[in-house]
A and B are shown apart, each in its own frame.
Chain A
Amino acid sequence: MDTTTPVFSVEGLWKVFGPKADRIPGDPELTSLDQAELRSRTGCTAAVRDVTFDVRKGEVFVVMGLSGSGKSTLVRCLTRLIEPTAGTIAIDGEDVRAMDRSRLRELRRHRAAMVFQHFGLLPHRTVLDNVAYGLEIQGMGKAERRERAAEVVAKVGLEGMEHRRPGQLSGGQRQRVGLARALAVDPEVLLFDEPFSALDPLIRREMQEEVIRLHREEGRTMVFITHDLQEALKLGDRITLMRDGRVVQLGTPEEIVGSPADDYVREFVRDVPREQVMTVRTAMRSPAADQNGSGPAVAPDATVSEAIEAVARAGAPARVVDKGRCVGVVDSDTLLGVVAGTEQPAPPGTEQPREAV
């Protein structure tokens, strides 16, 4: 996985708003200040501070943080909707900050498309023309772009609504239009800026399922901004947690929940139902030699709650089976340990499937 070039590679990224913002990232005395001090000293606000991460091809990369943590600014810096102050951004190895205008337009037109929190639809256009808008910008002919748009509209489940206006749609439907507009240009990577936070909880879940489905079907790389931890855990292959413009922790959902980097993260994930995030892999112990044959089988990346169900049904410990081989065993004790949080999983980085003896 790590051998291919990352889709986005961000290093030492800064975005400072305010007068003479340029001087701040380079000045070690100023960079050590916190937000309030920085503002009173310089009148500047550092929305993004020294952020580094890679987005791998095909993954859902979630940037998660509370409001004001700089996550929305960060995602806008990726395509330079907001001009970064310092640092490097590369898409497929190409320096984004060095791009001239036309190259940047090319990037926005074909390689990265964005879905917005309040949808950002054009109220005077029909659903179909909204979806076709990105193609129109590219200069595609009317018939062709409408045909393409109609396909995408069907893909996001809006058949029959092609000729409505955004004002006649519900929030969830509008965001499907926003999603379809981004998909219509067939981008390499989809950027989501808190796309579902303006929606009702039920609709939100439905849209999350939709995104998961699309990701499963197309395997498109996604960068997903959210302030909702549940959403982050549900969608993210990897999550970066931001606070005051800095990355606090970057890891898989399991790592974030299982081994929080600091008290802030620990407080954040305290109410997360651990059994739904932690996988069997962390909970299992080495199998005894005699247990090879009996008990229900679960996959190593099944969640603990799935394993609990299997163990409870069978009334016996379950075997963790990877590619036909038994790699471990989970019983009610180990599973309960995960739920209670007493079981300390392996520290991040060292986490590897333990081989059978």
Chain B
Amino acid sequence: MATITANPSRVGLPGLLKNRAVQKLLLLAVAAAVLVPLASARFASGSWPGALTVDFSEPLAKASDWIIDNRDSHPLFLYFFGHVSNVVVIAVRAVYLTLLAIGWAGVTALGALAAWRVAGVKLALGTAVAFLACGVLGMWVPTMQTLALMVVAVLASVVVGLLLGLAAGLSDRMDRVLRPVLDTMQVLPAFAYLLPVVLVFGIGVPAAVLATVIYAAPPMARLTSLGLRGADKEVLEAVQSLGSTARQRLLTARIPLARKELLLGVNQTIMMALSMAVIAAVIGAGGLGDRVYQALASVDVGAALAAGIPIVLLAVVLDRVTGAAGERLGAEPEPRSGLGWLYALIGVVAVAAAGRLAGRLDWPESWIVNIAEPVNRAVDWMTAHLYSGVPVIGGTADWAGHFTTWVLDPMRDGLQALPWWSVLLIVAALAWVIGTWRTALTAVLAMAAIGVLGVWKPSLDTLSQVLAAVAVTLVVGFAVGIAAARSDRLERALRPVLDVFQTMPQFVYLIPVVALFGVGRAPAVAAAIVYALPAVVRITAQGLRQVDQAALESSSSLGATSWQQLRQVQLPLARPALLLAVNQGLVLVLAVVVIGGLVGGGALGYDVVFGLAQGDLATGLVAGGAIVCLGLMLDRVTQPTERRAKKGA
């Protein structure tokens, strides 16, 4: 919002009219005054007019049928997708069998020693404990399945991302083409990627791997390009001044200079791949995600938790180890680092061989601790005692019920009762006031596309859940973020919690909310809040802390109280960060609200799940398209003129 209010002493328009935001709104109001009567005269007001929808389900169903009929005969599938699919299956299978052949002891040793080499002793211990925990929980084989899929998907994502990133980093034209695409892919919910892949590859491992690659490669590409472009100009000039060729410059200077960003890219790719590999259980990924999915389907919280804990452990370990590798870079030249790797390799081989000789390749049955039953007993107890009827505070199910009746239902009904053109108008106004006419146009078109797709009502249902979740997230997130920015102690206490929460895959959040609130829309919203909260808190706290110290000092030297400082200096100066927090909150909330379709969230997410489960790809694809549009709209509405550098989670 343009806060530069005009100088009132200037003659002419009153001050209010010179405010840029007011000008934009006035212009929009004029446009609306002309267009709205026209539109409502032609089409009914209220829900999206049927005359303006295009039925995609029939052509989509036809396309889907055609693909299914021709998957085994058409040359495109035989000679391209077929090969891709085969290569993926073979690769995943090979990694999986290798992991099994090394045995649990070997894999644990491999993980721990690799962590030792890149990240030090502490993380090596952590890695070993994490792997052993996976075994103890009885999840060794699913863990290996997920890991095998991850290894293949991450390798492919890194290669694809590197190539795209190199192209975008070295050529301005490629950058102009790729950047908006990658930026947009970054804000779309993981769920939206599933159906197109299934359409081509059918349900199974190849589809899961490809969906993961599509989801996980963009951060690698973005960070590669960012690193190549961000290289110190003078260093490059110095290298050029010594008479290097372009190839020498790339290999000896540009790529090494970008190594921090490259490693950060690998880290983000791994985290996104894990997140997606788990969600891809819905399209046949198998492994841990599948266990969670199955357990959630039968509301078996204990089993879901037993599979969910290994996911969290994997996420934390992978994030810490790759993160530490990035931080260690360039700090100290390590002498004899080759020798260390040799020791590590010898160690792994020795442990694997020992496991083999002892005939202990599989995790021993007797070492498995079954946590599902006690957890389920606890959940039953909770259901009995905490769900409702707790004196004074009510129960969790009561809360969920009240939240649904008093917040979600009125919001949904209210949104659906709004005339369709007024929704478009609100979207346009918000996007234009916050951003530029371009973002406003994209947002309006995306919203209109939802109507055209014929899923106006379920989309508004999803939107109402998103808005409710975002409202709660922002209130809590801003409060905690401001508190964390003002208290060092609170920030120190929060940091590890936020770190863990930000690394957990979206899917995992469904487990505890189902335990607490049962199924329905409220738990989906709750999961979304929990998922988006850490990012909002972190961005808020960082934004407030990064406010120019000189401005703060000068205000306190003028005798401002800390409340005045916060209100008059910190919050206005941190405005871009706060807006980014809103934007991230929306994007992250949408991602989980949609996944909430798995636990009774209904609306678009349910349509996707239904489409997958029933083989009705057309319904699923339309819902997926609507999710994409909704994501685009929400992102653009809250997009300030400057694009953010990287994703908050």
Contacts and interface: CB of A to CB of B under 8 A. Distances in A.
B237 A123 contact: no
A81 B240 contact: yes
A120 B252 contact: no
Interface string A74-90: 00100101000000000
B645 interface: no
A124 B259 contact: yes
Interface string B228-240: 0000101101111
Interface stretch (A24-32, A109-117, A203-211): A109-117
A107 B243 contact: yes
B243 A137 contact: yes
Nearest to A164: B333
A8 interface: no
B244 interface: yes
A227 B257 CA distance: 30
B242 interface: yes
Given A81-B237, A116-B234, A117-B234, A124 B243 contact: no
A108 B241 contact: yes
B243 A138 contact: yes
Contacts of B7: none
Contacts of B244: 105, 137
Candidate in B235, B243, B245, B256 with the most chain A CB atoms within 10 angstroms: B243
B252 A133 contact: yes
Given A120-B234, A120-B235, A114 B241 contact: yes
A248 to B, nearest CB: 27
Contacts of A107: 243
A140 to B, nearest CB: 12
Given A116-B234, A124-B257, A133-B252, A165 B330 contact: yes
A109 B248 CA distance: 13
B330 A113 contact: no
Interface string A163-204: 101010000000000100100010000010000000000000
Contacts of A110: 243
A178 to B, nearest CB: 8
Contacts of B330: 123-124, 165, 167
A25 B506 CA distance: 62
B238 A108 contact: no
Contacts of A123: 235, 257, 330
A113 B238 CA distance: 9
Contact of A113 (B237, B241, B253, B333): B241
Interface residues of B, number: 20
Interface in B332-361: 333
A343 interface: no
Chain A residues touching B, range: 20 to 34
Task: Please report whether the interface of chain B is mostly helix, strand, loop or mixed according to DSSP.
Answer: helix
Given A124-B256, A136-B252, A165-B333, A118 B243 contact: no
Nearest to A168: B332
A223 to B, nearest CB: 13
A134 interface: yes
Given A136-B252, A167-B330, A109 B242 contact: yes
Interface in B319-334: 330, 333
Contact of B245 (A81, A105, A118, A124): A105
Contacts of B242: 108-109, 113, 133-134, 137, 181, 185
A106 interface: yes
B241 A81 contact: yes
B238 A116 contact: yes
A123 B239 CA distance: 13
B423 to A, nearest CB: 44
A259 interface: no
B333 A105 contact: no
A121 interface: yes
A136 B239 CA distance: 11
Contacts of A120: 232, 234-235, 237-239
A133 B235 CA distance: 12
Contacts of B333: 126, 163, 165
A105 B243 contact: yes
Candidate in B241, B245, B259, B330 with the most chain A CB atoms within 10 angstroms: B241
A122 interface: yes
A266 to B, nearest CB: 34
A106 B240 contact: no
Interface string B140-165: 00000000000000000000000000
Contacts of B256: 122, 124
Contacts of B232: 118, 120
A119 B238 CA distance: 8
Nearest to A139: B248
A301 B239 CA distance: 40
B249 to A, nearest CB: 9
A210 to B, nearest CB: 19
A113 B352 CA distance: 55
Given A165-B330, A165-B333, A121 B235 contact: yes
A126 B241 CA distance: 20
A114 B244 CA distance: 13
A108 B243 CA distance: 5
Contact of B243 (A109, A117, A122, A167): A109
Contacts of A117: 234
A222 to B, nearest CB: 15
Contacts of B257: 122-124
Contacts of B239: 120, 122, 133, 137
A247 to B, nearest CB: 23
A81 B256 CA distance: 22
Candidate in A107, A113, A133 with the most chain B CB atoms within 10 angstroms: A133
A79 B235 CA distance: 16
Interface in B241-298: 241-245, 248, 252-253, 256-257, 259
A134 B243 CA distance: 8
Interface string A127-141: 000000110111000
A195 B644 CA distance: 35
Contacts of A106: 243
B238 A114 contact: yes
Given A136-B252, A165-B333, A118 B234 contact: yes
A30 B577 CA distance: 46
A130 B602 CA distance: 61
B248 A137 contact: yes
Contacts of B240: 81, 108
Nearest to A114: B241
A76 B241 CA distance: 9
A312 to B, nearest CB: 48
A106 B243 CA distance: 7
A134 B245 CA distance: 12
A108 B241 CA distance: 6
A328 B440 CA distance: 84
A96 to B, nearest CB: 13
8 contacts: A81-B240, A108-B242, A120-B232, A120-B235, A124-B257, A134-B242, A137-B243, A163-B333
Q: 9 shortest A-B CB distances, which residue pairs? A: A120-B238, A109-B243, A108-B243, A105-B243, A134-B242, A114-B241, A120-B234, A137-B244, A120-B235
Given A105-B245, A120-B237, 10 more contacts: A113-B241, A114-B238, A116-B238, A122-B235, A124-B257, A126-B333, A133-B242, A137-B244, A137-B252, A181-B242
